[in-house]
Amino acid sequence: MKIHNFKVKADFAGMRLDQFIALQGVELSKRKIREVIDAGGVYINRKRARIASRPVNPGDTIEMQYSLENLKRIKQREYEIQPSDLLFDHHHVIAINKPPGLPTQATRDQSVVHLEAAVKKYLASKGHPNAKVFLVHRLDKETSGVVLLATTAESVTFLTDQFRCRTVGKEYLALCSGIPHEKKFTVECFLSPIDKRTGNVTVVRSGGKPSKTFFEVIESNKALGMSLIRCRPETGRSHQIRVHLASKGFPIIGDKKYQPGKMPMTPALESLAAVHHFLHAFHLTFIPADNEKPVTLEAPLPINFLEFLKAANFSSRS
């Protein structure tokens, strides 16, 4: 049995519990730290703490107990769709507010849970164990927000045609490093395919696909050098918004691929930014079926995003 004891100093005030522990030099990954918390192996001031995002306070005493052998047996818990995650379920169309960190579809590691499988499980719980699920579009693993899925071939064709014809209204929120000089600006360029070796997309002069995004600054914090930006992509290339903003010198905070170096910030903000990058598919407007009116869905921001905005003194929430 491993036992660690920590005392929270003033510099770490407001930091997430799991992030605080990760900075104390323990031998566990952040995922394993969260598993220990979930299993009841962490105590704050002698009281068991099971919420990884709980903030720590100066003077808190934290005790952590775990067995490496037991941790090896802990399997990743399956993500289950919660009522608050379900944004739409009509006309053979399902819309989910995908949490950050959840892949949209299966990866090479078959043990990793993903949204497509979670929707199949949700349909099975509703009495449709053999229902088919088709992804209409995708979001990057760390990007949160609205994802559309269909349960019939006719529906997925009807929806993908709208994406192909660019009649779907898409709006994202991005929290970025830097402050643009203009309130509104547009980025239009050619983007390469995802590099199989690095996983990155780059701006190219030729040989790529055209891309275009409209940006509008909602609010800026000059003291911290951060901006909350509304993004309206006209095209839908891989990593498009992330690359467009980074190419203009405004990388998304927390983006491990396109933010060069670490942005100076308080430990509390740094711990929140370490969890996932701050890009969220906020609004989506589409026609669900023939002879139906357009539907606009709004996906609430994830808790970690909201906590960062609050800690960074942003007044805007949408």
DSSP H or E stretch at residue 217: strand 209-221
Tokens describing residue 191? 């983007």
Chain center to CA of 1: 34
Strands 144-150 and 279-286: parallel
DSSP 8-class letter at 54: P
Among 23, 19, 20, 33, which Cα is nearest to 66's?
Answer: 33
For the chain, the helix, strand and coil percentages under 3-state DSSP, each to the nearest 5: 20, 30, 50
DSSP 8-class letter at 295: E
Residue 297 CB neighbours (<10 A):
18
Q: List Cα–Cα distances, 270 to 50, 208, 304, in angstroms.
A: 22, 35, 12
Sequence letter at residue 104: T
As a whole number of angstroms, the distance between CA 141 and CA 255 comes to: 11
| Dihedral pair phi/psi, residue 71, rounded to 5° | -65, -30
* 257 and 126 Cβ atoms separated by less than 8 Å: no
As a whole number of angstroms, the distance between CA 100 and CA 171 comes to: 17
The residues carrying an active-site annotation are 140
